[in-house]
């Protein structure tokens, strides 16, 4: 049952289209499930495309607006497949893939995902960065930030700083710093009505206005963190005009240094509309009536009755001015303190015995080794000091210093490709051995003493240590699965 106030507003917005819109809430055949392939995961040193599907056997069909996005069939269960634990793909709603596509991330960019949990868009950004540049993935809610951090780990991302901060705190650190910023704002969630009853039960007209007030504050902080010449994408999963065209118009009235960028719309996408916030549909934000800005048709609306996805909205902003090249000569707040000398001996011994020379050189060149307590991390070269920030994951976690020995992290295993390790052991995804491994079981086999990178169909999935004719399982206890 859709709320009456919601349906009344949607009828005014859609007119003759409303019946078709309402029907899609009743028709299960109009609902689609999708996943996005993680291009950071490679098999035998090659981009895998959809080759993983040779064994997974999903019924995949491409998502028009995301080159690595695919719909999967109703009978498929990708969340229960071992390759999900290997980070080969991320289960993500198709419409939610659109904002990052329009963020236009390039390798080497410094990018902020300001409202990042659970991590779908952050991991999508990372796939475009391809290990180059720097991603700050932030989430203000502590529990949701932990989920974000785990997904950053699962998809093998090395160049991300995961923070748990208010947007205002970050704005004090990263003044005009980022090339690209994504604000996938907290919203009233009307676009999720088909997927969850909670979104319906928690909805109210009053809440859409509360969300718009909060979105204004977040956008203002994001604006101060974007470098001149940079791009900002604002997105929501709601139909509410006050949170979409209203928020965009109010933002541009406060920030004349920004323009709406005209971007190509894919089939089924429509533009924003002035009429959604005019006349009887007029809106207020922070107590002030919003006047429609010019160019609202440059925004993008994704309607569930027009395309294969849920409700979504996005706007692409550009910040006027020439790119400030001086910002590359400093790191906000100073850099991290590099770990050197004898403290690194256990790591160096492990790396020499376990990783290829090419892998070690690549890690050394791509970042800065530093200690976070007893934990060794590889920080992106551009990464700011973590002092004063609530940090969950400061770069790639390499492992723990245990007195005179080094124990590798699960994050390092998931980052590695099979050709980066000196010893690997592959477990086919369609067999029982990989399920036993994910359950934490030790298994007997032939081998040589030392650490092994365990792979599944060639994709890294975790560590094991061989001794005495058996492979001791080091899959994290908190992640183990009972199949």
Q: Which stretch of 97-101, 143-147, 379-383, 472-476 has the lowest confidence by average pLDDT?
A: 379-383
> How many C-beta neighbours within 10 Å does residue 467 have?
11
Q: What is the pLDDT of residues 187-232, one digit of tens each?
A: 999 999 998 889 999 999 999 999 999 999 999 999 999 999 999 9
Phi, psi of 294 (to 5 degrees): -75, 150
Which of 102-106, 261-265, 382-386 is predicted least confidently? 382-386
Residue-wise pLDDT tens digits, 400-446: 998 889 999 999 999 999 999 999 999 999 999 999 999 999 999 99
pLDDT score, position 50: 64
Count of alpha carbons within 13 angstroms of residue 51, beta-carbon side: 12
> How many residues are there in the chain?
483
Distance set, CA 227 to CA 130, 211, 247, 315 (Å): 22, 26, 21, 18
Query: What is the chain's mean pLDDT, rounded?
Result: 94
- Give just the sign of the alpha carbon dihedral 62, 68, 69, 70: positive
Give the residue, 49 or 77, on which the prediction is more confident. Answer: 77
Tell me how far apart the alpha carbons of residues 259 and 237 are, in angstroms, rounded to a whole number: 22
Element (H, E) at 8: helix 4-14
Q: What is the dihedral of CA 60, 42, 439, 378, to 10 degrees?
A: -130
pLDDT digits (tens, 9 = 90+) for 282-303: 999 999 999 999 999 999 999 9
Euclidean distance between CA atoms 289 and 282, whole angstroms:
7
Q: pLDDT at residue 151 above 60?
A: yes
478-483 average pLDDT score: 92
| Residue in 237, 293, 359, 456 annotated catalytic | 237
Higher pLDDT, 195 or 238: 238
Token output for 376:
């060794």
What is the Rg, in whole angstroms, of the alpha carbon atoms belonging to the chain? Answer: 24
Tokens (6 digits) for 388: 């004063």
| Cα(261)–Cα(288) distance, integer angstroms | 25
Q: How far is CA 387 from the centre of its chain?
A: 24
pLDDT in tens, 442-472: 999 999 999 999 999 999 999 999 999 999 9
Mean local confidence (pLDDT), 10-19: 97
Average pLDDT over residues 125-148: 97
Q: Is a pLDDT exceeding 80 seen at residue 331?
A: no
Gap between the Cα atoms of 50 and 89, Å rounded: 10
Q: What is the pLDDT of residue 125?
A: 98
Alpha helices in 190-313 (DSSP H): 197-201, 205-225, 245-254
| Residue 441: DSSP 8-state | -
Share of the chain above pLDDT 90, in %: 85
Count of beta carbons in the 10 Å neighbourhood of residue 77: 11
User: 44: pLDDT confidence band, cut at 50, 70 and 90?
Assistant: low
Can you tell me the mean pLDDT for 353-358? Answer: 98
- Residue 327: its pLDDT value, please? 67
Place 53 in a pLDDT band, splitting at 50, 70 and 90: confident
What average pLDDT does the segment 114-140 reach?
A: 97
237 catalytic? Reply is: yes
Burial 147-173 (b: 16+ CB within 10 A, else e): ebbbbbbbbbbbbbbbbbbebeebbeb
pLDDT band at 49 (very low <50, low <70, confident <90, very high): low
CB environment 259-283: b (16+ within 10 A), e (fewer): bbbebebeebbeebbbebbeeebeb
Res. 163: pLDDT tops 50 = yes
Q: What average pLDDT does the segment 344-354 reach?
A: 96
Q: What is the pLDDT of residue 29?
A: 65
Q: What value does the mean pLDDT take over residues 65-73?
A: 96
pTM exceeds cut of 0.85:
yes
With 0-12 CB in 10 A as exposed, 13-18 as middle and 19+ as buried, what is 334?
A: exposed
Which residue spans within 2-88 are E strands per DSSP?
A: 33-37, 42-43, 46-47, 61-62, 69-72
pLDDT surpassing 50 at residue 45: no
The helix-helix angle for 142-154 and 120-129 (nearest 10°) equals 40
């Amino acid at each position: 049952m859709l709320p009456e106030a919601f349906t009344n507003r949607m009828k005014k917005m859609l007119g003759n289209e409303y019946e078709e819109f309402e029907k899609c809430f009743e028709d299960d055949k109009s609902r689609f499930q999708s996943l996005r392939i993680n291009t950071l995961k490679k098999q035998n040193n090659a981009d895998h495309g959809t080759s993983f599907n040779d064994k997974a056997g999903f019924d995949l069909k491409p998502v028009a607006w995301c080159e690595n996005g695919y719909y999967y069939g109703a009978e498929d269960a990708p969340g229960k497949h071992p390759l999900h634990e290997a980070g080969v793909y991320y289960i993500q709603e198709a419409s939610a893939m659109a904002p990052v596509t329009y963020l236009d991330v390039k390798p080497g960019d410094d990018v902020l995902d300001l409202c990042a949990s659970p991590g779908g868009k952050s991991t999508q950004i990372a796939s475009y960065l391809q290990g180059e540049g720097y991603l700050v993935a932030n989430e203000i809610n502590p529990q949701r930030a932990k989920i974000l951090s785990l997904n950053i780990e699962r998809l093998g991302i090395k160049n991300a700083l995961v923070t748990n901060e208010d947007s205002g705190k970050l704005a004090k650190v990263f003044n005009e710093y980022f090339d690209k910023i994504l604000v996938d704002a907290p919203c009233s969630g009307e676009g999720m009505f088909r997927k969850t009853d909670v979104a319906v039960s928690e909805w109210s007209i009053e809440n859409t206005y509360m969300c718009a007030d909060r979105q204004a504050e977040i956008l203002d902080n994001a604006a101060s963190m974007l470098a001149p010449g940079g791009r900002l994408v604002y997105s929501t999963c709601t139909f509410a005009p006050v949170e979409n065209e209203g928020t965009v118009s109010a933002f541009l009235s406060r920030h004349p240094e920004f323009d709406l960028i005209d971007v190509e719309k894919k089939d089924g996408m429509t533009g924003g509309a002035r009429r959604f916030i005019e006349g009887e549909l007029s809106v207020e934000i922070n107590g002030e009536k919003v006047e429609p800005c010019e160019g609202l048709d440059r925004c993008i609306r994704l309607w569930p009755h027009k395309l294969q996805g849920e409700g979504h909205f996005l706007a692409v902003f550009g910040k006027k001015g020439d790119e400030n090249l001086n910002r590359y000569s400093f790191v906000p707040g100073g850099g991290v303190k590099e770990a050197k000398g004898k403290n690194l001996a256990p790591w160096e011994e492990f790396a020499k015995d376990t990783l290829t020379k090419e892998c070690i050189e690549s890690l050394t060149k791509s970042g800065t080794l530093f200690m976070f307590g007893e934990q060794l991390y590889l920080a992106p070269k551009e990464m700011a000091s973590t002092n004063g920030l609530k940090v969950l994951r400061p770069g790639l976690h390499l492992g723990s210093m245990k007195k005179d020995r080094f124990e590798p992290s699960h994050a390092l295993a998931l980052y590695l490709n099979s050709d980066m390790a000196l010893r690997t052991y592959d477990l086919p995804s369609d067999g029982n051995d990989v399920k036993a491994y994910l359950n934490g079981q030790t298994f007997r086999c032939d081998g040589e003493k030392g650490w092994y990178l365990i792979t599944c169909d060639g994709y890294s999935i975790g560590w094991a240590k061989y001794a005495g004719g058996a492979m001791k399982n080091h899959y994290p206890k908190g992640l183990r699965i009972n199949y």
